[in-house]
Amino acid sequence: MSENIKICPGYKFVGVASGLKKAAGALDLALLLSDTPAVAAAVFTKNRFPAAPVIYGRKLLAAGRDLRAVLINSGNANACTGRQGEVDVVTVAEFLAAALQLDPQEVFISSTGVIGEPFPVTRVLRGIESLLAELEQQVAVSAALTRAARAIMTTDKAPKVIGIEVETSQGTVTLTGLAKGAGMIHPDMATMLAYLLTDAKIDREIWQAMLQRVVSQSFNRISVDGDMSTNDTVLALANGVSGCSLTNPVDLDLFETALLQVANALARMIVKDGEGATKVVEITVTGAANLADAEKICRTVANSALVKTAFFGQDANWGRIIAAVGYAGVELDSSLVNIDFDQVRVVSGGVRDPRYREEAGAAVLRQAEFSVKIDLQSGEDEFTLLTSDLTHEYVSINADYRS
């Protein structure tokens, strides 16, 4: 982990192997522990089949509970497991709470992995015992954070962690974020999990509203494959140990900007680490009559299998893009549409730009990261989304994900 990552004071991190993953010794159980009760805010998946921990988490947040501990397992989603899955979440939360001498309502649970498999409660409880033993060890906090970030990974290739400091009128506060996600990425709230931690003190209602705004501009603006998980969760904790209470508008705006920076960095890491991905592509629709139209076209293009495979093949096939714009279901004047690859004008007025040369477009697509701008010239609204390409490796990963 980079030495530039600032780690938020007042939190402990643990990651262990408990046998939930098939690979021997693979880290699969993480604990995030706040030294003091932390004000919690969260945004959850809109999938109509929410996982058992999502159901449990929604109840905790609705009750306005402060949190001390977050337990996250990979390898099993505990989704579509019926009433037994919900009972299992409570069992795990109560076991961990008793071990840490906490109220069960101070324990938040997250899961990620295969959907529909019975939740391995016994293994998780044994894993918690290992977590507690690890917690007693004097491990460098940076190493502990890295292990926790690795433990929540499924098909991710690398842990996703960022931390920054923010100077406010009340003093310095820290923001640390960790996340997992590489496939089933098309959040709409927000398989994706993200945890945003701060030592600032923030009012609960302000914290929740701030998180929702940030999520709408970051995690909800990425897509790897157009599939939304049953487990998507973004949880934000503010434990106040810095002594800095953020109440005035200037400090709150400054802090929200920093929180968005952290969330956007994690969101980009997720797209870059997309299953089999070789490209990160920023799709922007401008000049739309309204925001809904801009978003609809943006998502249609970003999720088109033909567009994404063209990105992988480094094929500057703008016809696939303009076709997706046309079938997005938005009223537009096709004679006004322009398309650029980075700074290269490809389409002018709905047809191939007379100055465009195929070699220039192909050169842009050979880059690991590039942009596609679609200007409708019909209004003032715009929408941006990050997406990845669609590769042979993505198919291979998901063809035998459970084996």
Cite the active site residues: 191
Coil, strand, or helix at residue 256? helix
222-223 and 344-348 beta bridge pairing? unpaired
- 371, amino acid identity: S
Pair of tokens at residue 240: 């106040």
Cα–Cα dist 38/17, whole Å:
27
278 CA to centre of own chain: 19
> In Å, what is the CA distance from 71 to each residue of 12, 258, 394?
12, 26, 29
**C-alpha distance from residue 74 to each of 86, 116, 136 (Å):** 17, 14, 23
- 36: number of Cβ within 10 Å: 12
Which residues, at least 6 apart from 324, have a Cβ–Cβ distance to it below 8 Å?
A: 297, 300, 301, 304, 306, 307
Q: Which residue shows structure tokens 């290992």?
A: 130
Tokens of 133: 């033993």
Q: Using CA atoms, how far apart are residues 224 and 267, in angstroms rounded to an integer?
A: 11
Residue 70's identity, in one-letter code, is: V
d(CA 222, CA 291): 17
